[in-house]
A and B are shown apart, each in its own frame.
Chain A
Amino acid sequence: QLLESGGGLVQPGGSLRLSCAASGFTFSAFTMTWVRQAPGRGLEWVSAISDGGTRTSYAESVKGRFSISSDNSRNTLYLQLNSLRVEDTAVYYCAKDNLESDALDLWGQGTLVTVSS
């Protein structure tokens, strides 16, 4: 199970930290991913972190503003959102990568981030 939290209303230029608590699987063994969905739009990959946290990657649209991390002792994934823009408004989902494939086989329920003045 994956459970996101930390979303909310923030002004442009502001910051938020999203969390994703994992349970029911060996969190440290899997690459973890953040995907977002703007209102009425499709899915957009945002960021990923490898098992062990040694490798991170970001979409061009968030590079330099967002930072992904994980705490294996707490089985928790994080996404730090800085310099937020109106176009970052979306539901943010965390997802677990399939060990033998690049599919996302477990998703959280999502947390809504609204960037507005």
Chain B
Amino acid sequence: SYVLTQPPSVSEAPGQTARITCGGNNIGTKSVHWYQQKPGQAPLLVVYDDSDRPSGIPERFSGSNSEKTATLTINRVEAGDEADYYCQVWDTSSDHPVFGGGTKLTVL
């Protein structure tokens, strides 16, 4: 089945820009969604269809998708952004969603 690859961890200082990547074969042809999961909480959709934000998600969160890599960008990182972030696409071969392994964002 389709494999999504994320770095296990990303660290960034408050106020800086954090970028979390998600790699997959021809990922640029797929719609990528991103979820934020804080400890002990359910996942929360923060970006869908590569770059759209659900209502209530700050504009600091944005997404992009190119041929080989999708990226979640968090501008002006805050302590409250510390969480695990997961990318997700629809795998057409198996006809179900696939998640990346997750990236732990640490705010220094």
Q: Which of A42, A57, A103 contacts B48 (CB 8 A)?
A: A103
Report the minimal beta-carbon distance from B3 to chain A, rounded to whole angstroms. Answer: 12
Q: B interface, by DSSP: helix, strand, loop or mixed?
A: strand
* Contact across chains for B45 and A104 when beta carbons are under 8 A apart: yes
Report the minimal beta-carbon distance from A40 to chain B, rounded to whole angstroms. Answer: 11
* Contact across chains for B96 and A48 when beta carbons are under 8 A apart: yes
List the one stretch of A10-18, A76-84, A106-114 in contact with chain B.
Answer: A106-114
* Contact across chains for B45 and A42 when beta carbons are under 8 A apart: no
Report the minimal beta-carbon distance from A47 to chain B, rounded to whole angstroms. Answer: 9
- Can you name the residue of chain B whose Cβ is closest to the Cβ of A107? B42
Report the minimal beta-carbon distance from B63 to chain A, rounded to whole angstroms. Answer: 11
Interface residues of chain A, those whose CB is within 8 Å of chain B, are 33, 35, 42-45, 48, 57, 59, 93, 95, 98, 101-105, 107-110
